[in-house]
């Protein structure tokens, strides 16, 4: 893939894994649109990359439609969509305060799973209009699940359900989009040092790092970005969820 000829959308691109991927794309010359709710960080990174920022709630139909229009008008039809927007909560099915709140369960599903699908469907409809490349390819989509999709911990019912959904829909969407030449893959990160994790206290961070077989540390956002770039480059990767996790298998807590 010649990155300097393409435009790319990164959801959750204002922070963490998305921001590192947007930077990697920008360094290779891609025109980048950052879709995020964090205006301050999003605007600043877009200015640095010479791209655009769209204030977007991925779970909202109208918000994503508007972002698609703005992006296509400013940068042309996208060939790359990286879905990084997401939230994490910890809440047990029955906790000290009683049953898990339904509202928080639905919120996580709505942003992580429905939001990912909302972006896929509306962006794929634009990618379909691209001129086909060598293999008939018109675009590539990368989603972000989590190792919690497979070994969810105590308090992760909602988060795990959302990420298992992202991983699970990868193959059927790749099959849906094969006729228009759009590849779909998912990265399932282990524990990465991003603002999502930096909020935790040092004890928790040390305990998490100690659970990683090798290397014994959290992943860096640049390591996530590196895999995302390779998925864009490697035209034969499709319909797959790839764990990026230092061989971690999460314990119950």
Ligand X SMILES: NC(=O)c1ccc[n+]([C@@H]2O[C@H](COP(=O)([O-])OP(=O)(O)OC[C@H]3O[C@@H](n4cnc5c(N)ncnc54)[C@H](O)[C@@H]3O)[C@@H](O)[C@H]2O)c1
Sequence-separated contacts (24+) of 135-139 with Cβ below 8 Å: 135/181, 135/235, 136/181, 137/181, 137/182, 137/183, 137/235, 138/79, 138/180, 138/181, 138/182, 139/78, 139/79, 139/80, 139/81, 139/181, 139/182, 139/183
What tokens appear for 183 in the block?
């590849």
Does residue 58 touch ligand X according to CB under 6 A? yes
Compute the least distance from the CB of residue 126 to ligand X, in Å.
18
H helices present in 32-88, as ranges? 39-49, 61-75
* Structural contact between residues 34 and 10, judged by C-beta atoms closer than 8 angstroms: yes
Does residue 86 touch ligand X according to CB under 6 A? yes
* Count of residues interacting with ligand X (CB under 6 A): 31
Binds ligand X (CB under 6 A): choice among 1, 88, 89, 109: 88
Binds ligand X (CB under 6 A): choice among 8, 9, 10, 12: 12
Compute the least distance from the CB of residue 88 to ligand X, in Å.
5
Does residue 192 touch ligand X according to CB under 6 A? yes
Contacting residues for 169 by C-beta, under 8 A, at least 6 apart:
117
* Polymer length of the chain: 253
Does residue 152 touch ligand X according to CB under 6 A? no
Q: Residue 215: is the preceding peptide bond cis (ω within 30°)?
A: yes
Q: One symbol per residue from 22 to 51: x for binding ligand X (CB under 6 A), - otherwise; what is it?
A: --------------xxx-------------
Helix (H) or strand (E) holding 118: helix 115-127
Q: One symbol per residue from 94 to 123: x for binding ligand X (CB under 6 A), - otherwise; what is it?
A: -----------------xx--x--------
Binding segment (CB under 6 A) for ligand X, from list 70-78, 121-129, 190-198, 231-239? 190-198
Does residue 196 touch ligand X according to CB under 6 A? yes
Contacting residues for 135 by C-beta, under 8 A, at least 6 apart:
181, 235
| 236 classed as catalytic | no
Compute the least distance from the CB of residue 121 to ligand X, in Å.
15
Compute the least distance from the CB of residue 135 to ligand X, in Å.
29
**Active-site option among 35, 105, 159, 224:** 159
Helix (H) or strand (E) holding 107: helix 102-108
Provide the binding-site residues for ligand X, judged by CB under 6 A.
Answer: 11-12, 14-18, 36-38, 56-59, 84-88, 111-112, 115, 144, 146, 189, 191-192, 194-197
């Amino acid at each position: 893939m010649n990155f300097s000829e393409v435009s790319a959308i990164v959801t959750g691109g204002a922070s963490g894994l998305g921001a590192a991927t947007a930077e990697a794309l920008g360094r290779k010359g891609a025109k980048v649109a950052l879709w995020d709710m964090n205006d301050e960080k999003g605007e600043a990174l877009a200015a640095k990359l010479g791209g655009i920022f769209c204030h977007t709630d991925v779970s909202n139909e109208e918000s994503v439609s508007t972002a698609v229009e703005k992006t296509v008008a400013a940068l042309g039809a996208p060939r790359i969509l990286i879905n990084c927007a997401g939230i994490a909560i910890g809440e047990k099915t029955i906790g000290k305060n009683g049953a898990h709140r339904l509202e928080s369960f639905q919120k996580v599903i709505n942003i992580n799973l429905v939001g990912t699908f909302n972006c896929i469907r509306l962006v794929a409809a634009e990618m379909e209009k691209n001129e086909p490349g060598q293999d008939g390819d018109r675009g590539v989509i990368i989603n972000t699940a989590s190792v919690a999709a497979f070994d969810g911990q105590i308090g992760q019912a909602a988060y795990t359900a959302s990420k298992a959904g992202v991983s699970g829909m990868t193959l059927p969407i790749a099959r849906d989009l094969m006729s228009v030449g759009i590849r779909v893959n998912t990265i399932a990160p282990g524990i990465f040092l991003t603002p999502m994790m930096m909020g935790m206290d040092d004890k928790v961070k040390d305990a998490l790092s100690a659970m990683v077989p090798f290397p014994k540390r959290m992943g860096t956002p640049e390591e996530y970005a590196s895999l995302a770039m390779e998925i864009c480059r490697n035209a034969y990767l499709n319909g797959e969820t790839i764990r990026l996790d230092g061989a971690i298998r999460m314990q119950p807590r």
